[in-house]
Amino acid sequence: MEEPSAWTATALNAVGDLLHWLTGDIWSLEVLPAEPPASGSQPAVQIMPADAVSLLSGGLDTLCGALLRLDQRESTLFLGHLDPSKAVRRAQNLVKAGLMTRRDDLNYLRFELRPMSPVRERTPRTRSLLFMAMAIVVAASGAGRVLVPENGFTSINPPLEPARGGPLTTRSTHPWTFHALRRLLNELGLEDVTVANPYEHLTKGELVAAALQPRNATDRELAAATLSCAMPNAGRPKGGNPNLNCGLCIACLVRRGAFITGGRRDETIYLVDTLTDEAKDRFIHSRRHDINAWTYATQAGFDEHRVLASGLWPPGTDFDAVLDICQRGLKELKRVRPA
């Protein structure tokens, strides 16, 4: 760390609690001072001034956020992380190219961060914290606001069946994650930087309807290029295109329901629709746990007590609103037929 003195015991406890919330692991953190920069060295990246920093991951929600931001007068710096997944990088490149056809002066940065240690963490449990931390560094240089576009249903991510919950159900943009992050920023003296999800009160279908223009072929093509799949690359059958959304994981089912509910034609090519005969049967079988979770939730509905007990909640949370968006999201899921 360039300023190790900022990382007091209270700040370390705050980041440890946040990491525990995201991963379920117990963390012990040690702060080491960074080597001083070479004399006369310049920043590796020149950051253009902007009113806000908005994350742009290559997914459908951050694309919707970008489209809505481009319609506003405020200037926005769009920030991405160069993901190791080839499928995600492909989606990021297509989204960037599509947005640049609208704004050739698109203010966009993408960084690549890799662990120095040979030990690899194979789960994405802490990826959102890395993504937000990058944005906070950029925003602290002048913008002051970080926007994390994510629909509220996915953010809450209610467990679809009793077997799902805890860190096995991602908490990347859960309301408590933002609350814990604000606490950490305050401890670090960065209270002037705000991090928020501007679409926490919308389902994915409602966000799609707000962002994608009806009967707009360009919007449909750009949306189809995004990647929502929770299982890109890995677990694909032999001969299956690793760049496609699978169509059967929970993230893909939420995506499919969003287009239906939002009244926008879905031009996404889903892997499951490209397979036939035994290959398709095997693939459907490989996604049986997600399909079973969808079946359970759409037939049994949500147990309200289980939804509220599935995580921590910031002070002042409107629990009626939480349950309402979960029910609206479930209605979108019910409109999908997995296979």
Tens digits of per-residue pLDDT, 198-252?
999 999 999 999 999 988 899 999 999 999 998 876 556 676 788 999 999 999 9
* Mean pLDDT estimate for the chain: 89
- pLDDT-derived band of residue 176, with 50, 70 and 90 as boundaries? very high
Distance CA 194, CA 136 (A): 8
State residue 138's pLDDT score: 84
Tell me the domains of the chain and their CATH numbers: 4-29+49-113+125-196 (3.40.50), 216-334 (no CATH)
Quick one: how far is CA 264 from the chain centroid?
21
pLDDT greater than 60 at residue 19: yes
**Backbone conformation region of residue 236, classed left if phi is above 0, alpha if psi is from -120 to 50, else beta:** beta
- pLDDT-derived band of residue 336, with 50, 70 and 90 as boundaries? very high
Distance CA 250, CA 205 (A): 15
- pLDDT-derived band of residue 309, with 50, 70 and 90 as boundaries? very high
Distance CA 175, CA 36 (A): 37
**Contact (Cβ atoms closer than 8 angstroms) between residue 160 and residue 303:** no
- Residue 77 to residues 52, 105, 228, 284, Cα–Cα distance (Å): 6, 11, 22, 40
State residue 332's pLDDT score: 98
With a pLDDT cut of 70, the percent of the chain lying above it is 90
State residue 35's pLDDT score: 83
Residue 141: Cβ within 10 Å count: 13
